[in-house]
């Protein structure tokens, strides 16, 4: 095999046919922006499809065009890295509903105006459907593996359950087969923060050039707390004060943790569309894999979701992740076991909470590399 070119390639596919959605509508002219790293082999058998999490995008290794920072998984994807692009052809697409080139609420509707809140409510399976269309366009019948963390893990599960013949393996990290009441509750706080910002204006803010940045920043701040562990936050910030020696008896960001969250919130508004945040969090809240495959009557058994699958599965959770705790991954592992699928599950110890899947956890690298190199 010729040495694979590690330079990431960014492209956009426009689907020729309207994309049918779980909500009953179909969406014309859907664009799917994607990045590939490595080289597809002659048998078209070495593709690895990565699904990104809520606020990430297709820039896995390439510099992010808005922040200038390295891609979200440049640590793990590349030549001779954990996901070895000398061997695998890695694909990652911006999700449907996103704001980095794939069709979302900021994209123009057929009337030329932004969709805004006219954009149909989408599901995790709709996001996956758009990416299956991308695989079709790339001429890839079956991928070596699908991999995703958090919302990416939901897509990996949905892919393996709904398109079982299209992958030989699924790696699901820090994820869940359905959104819990607590997950939905946190998302609702974020959405209400956006909608309570007068600049949101019913979602119609694209012409003003000024979106609901305050609302979106608050949404991000609330969500960011859920990505960290209590212990991790305590270690990083404790009760330390920010650039001052005494409390100000005011509402400035006295504490380092406040300053950090404000920064996280503000910088997020530079790269993310508020309406996209509404639609993508909604899709996550609607996710319930057992219900999805049973046709929505609510009576589905999770084990039935994987009945047609012959793929190998691997589930990873982190002991400090309270957003998608270990019990969620264990539930999936039991369902897969009951359906006879080859499944591995491991809870890894890492101090970083939900975000551990993106950070330096050597045991995770071992699991990913070992699972992929079969």
Partner 1 sequence: MNGLRPDLAVIAANIAPGSRVLDVGCGDGALMAALRDQRQVDARGMELDPMGVAECVARGLSVIQGDADADLADYPDAAFDYAVLSQTLQTTKRPDKVLGELLRIGRKAFVSFPNFAHWQVRASLLWHGRMPVTRLLPVAWYETPNIHHVTVSDFRDLVRAEGLTVEGAWFLSGDRRIGDAAASWRAEHAVFLLTRQPGA
Q: What is the DSSP letter of 94?
A: P
Site for partner 1 contains 338 (CB under 8 A):
yes
Question: Crossing angle, helix 213-227 and helix 256-269, to 10 degrees?
Answer: 120
In this chain, which of 277, 345, 352, 357 binds partner 1, going by CB under 8 A?
Answer: 345
The yes-or-no answer on residue 321 being catalytic is yes
The SS3 of residue 236 is helix
| Alpha helices, DSSP H, located in the chain | 124-138, 151-162, 181-196, 213-227, 230-236, 256-269, 274-286, 289-294, 302-305, 326-338, 362-372
Shortest Cβ 368–partner 1 spacing (Å): 9
Contact of 23 with 123, CB cutoff 8 Å: yes
In this chain, which of 142, 180, 259, 344 binds partner 1, going by CB under 8 A?
Answer: 344
* Active-site pick, 84, 126, 321, 355: 321
Q: Which stretch binds partner 1 (CB under 8 A): 83-91, 186-194, 240-248, 362-370?
A: 362-370
In this chain, which of 40, 184, 347, 351 binds partner 1, going by CB under 8 A?
Answer: 347
Q: Which stretch binds partner 1 (CB under 8 A): 38-46, 49-57, 286-294, 366-374?
A: 366-374
Q: How far apart are CA 67 and CA 1, in angstroms?
A: 35
CB nearer to partner 1: give 83 or 133.
83
Phi, psi (degrees; rounded to nearest 5) at 363: -65, -35
CB nearer to partner 1: give 94 or 356.
356
* Dihedral angle sign, alpha carbons of residues 151, 153, 157, 159: positive
The residue whose two tokens read 């070495």 is 46
Shortest Cβ 347–partner 1 spacing (Å): 6
Contact of 22 with 125, CB cutoff 8 Å: yes
In this chain, which of 74, 142, 264, 337 binds partner 1, going by CB under 8 A?
Answer: 337
Residues numbered 292-321 forming contacts with partner 1, rule: CB under 8 A: 312, 314
CB nearer to partner 1: give 283 or 368.
368
Tokens coding 56: 């990430």
The yes-or-no answer on residue 52 being catalytic is no
Contact of 176 with 76, CB cutoff 8 Å: no
Shortest Cβ 345–partner 1 spacing (Å): 5
In this chain, which of 343, 355, 356, 358 binds partner 1, going by CB under 8 A?
Answer: 343
* Active-site pick, 76, 102, 107, 150: 150
* Active-site pick, 52, 288, 354, 355: 354
Q: What is the DSSP letter of 345?
A: E
* Dihedral angle sign, alpha carbons of residues 70, 76, 81, 86: negative
Site for partner 1 contains 16 (CB under 8 A):
no
Contact of 309 with 161, CB cutoff 8 Å: yes
Q: What is the DSSP letter of 208?
A: T
CB nearer to partner 1: give 72 or 371.
371
Site for partner 1 contains 369 (CB under 8 A):
yes
CB nearer to partner 1: give 208 or 374.
374
Q: How far apart are CA 186 and CA 353, in angstroms?
A: 16
The yes-or-no answer on residue 150 being catalytic is yes
Shortest Cβ 38–partner 1 spacing (Å): 22
In this chain, which of 73, 186, 287, 371 binds partner 1, going by CB under 8 A?
Answer: 371
Closest CA relative to residue 225, chosen from 359, 353, 358: 353
Tokens coding 28: 């014309």
In this chain, which of 141, 196, 342, 360 binds partner 1, going by CB under 8 A?
Answer: 342
CB nearer to partner 1: give 51 or 371.
371
Task: Please give the residue ranges that form the binding site for partner 1 (CB under 8 A).
Answer: 312, 314, 333-334, 337-338, 342-349, 363, 366-367, 369-371, 373-374
- The catalytic residue positions are 150, 321, 354
């Amino acid at each position: 095999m010729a040495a694979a070119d590690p330079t990431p390639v960014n492209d956009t596919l426009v689907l020729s046919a309207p994309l049918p959605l779980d909500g009953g509508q179909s969406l014309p002219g859907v664009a799917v922006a994607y990045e590939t790293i490595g080289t597809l082999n002659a048998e078209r058998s070495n593709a690895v499809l990565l699904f990104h999490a809520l606020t990430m995008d297709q820039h896995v290794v390439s510099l992010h065009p808005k922040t200038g920072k390295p891609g979200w998984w440049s640590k793990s994807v590349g030549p001779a890295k954990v996901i070895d692009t000398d061997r695998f052809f890695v694909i990652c697409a911006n999700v449907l509903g996103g704001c980095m080139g794939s069709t979302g609420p900021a994209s123009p509707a057929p009337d030329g105006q932004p969709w805004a809140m006219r954009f149909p409510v989408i599901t995790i399976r709709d996001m996956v459907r758009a990416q299956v269309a991308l695989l079709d366009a790339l001429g890839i019948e079956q991928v070596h593996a699908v991999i995703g963390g958090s919302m990416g893990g939901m897509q990996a599960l949905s892919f393996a359950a709904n398109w079982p013949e299209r992958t030989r393996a699924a790696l699901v990290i820090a994820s869940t087969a359905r959104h819990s009441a607590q997950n939905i509750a946190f998302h609702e706080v974020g959405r209400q923060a956006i909608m309570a910002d007068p600049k949101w204006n019913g979602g119609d803010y694209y012409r003003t050039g000024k979106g609901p940045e305050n609302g979106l920043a608050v949404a991000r701040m609330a969500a960011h707390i859920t990505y960290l562990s209590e212990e991790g936050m305590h270690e990083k910030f404790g009760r330390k004060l920010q650039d001052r020696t005494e409390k100000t008896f005011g509402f400035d960001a006295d504490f380092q943790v406040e300053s950090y969250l404000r920064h996280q919130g503000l910088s997020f508004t530079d790269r993310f569309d508020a309406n996209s945040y509404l639609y993508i969090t909604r899709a996550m809240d609607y996710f319930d894999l057992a219900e999805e495959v049973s046709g929505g009557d609510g009576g589905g058994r999770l084990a039935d979701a994987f009945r047609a699958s012959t793929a190998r599965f691997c589930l990873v959770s982190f002991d400090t992740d309270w957003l998608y705790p270990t019990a969620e991954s264990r539930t999936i592992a039991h369902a897969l076991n009951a359906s006879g699928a080859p499944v591995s599950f491991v809870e890894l110890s890492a101090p970083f909470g939900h975000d551990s899947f993106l950070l330096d956890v050597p045991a995770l690298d071992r699991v990913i590399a070992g699972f992929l190199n079969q």
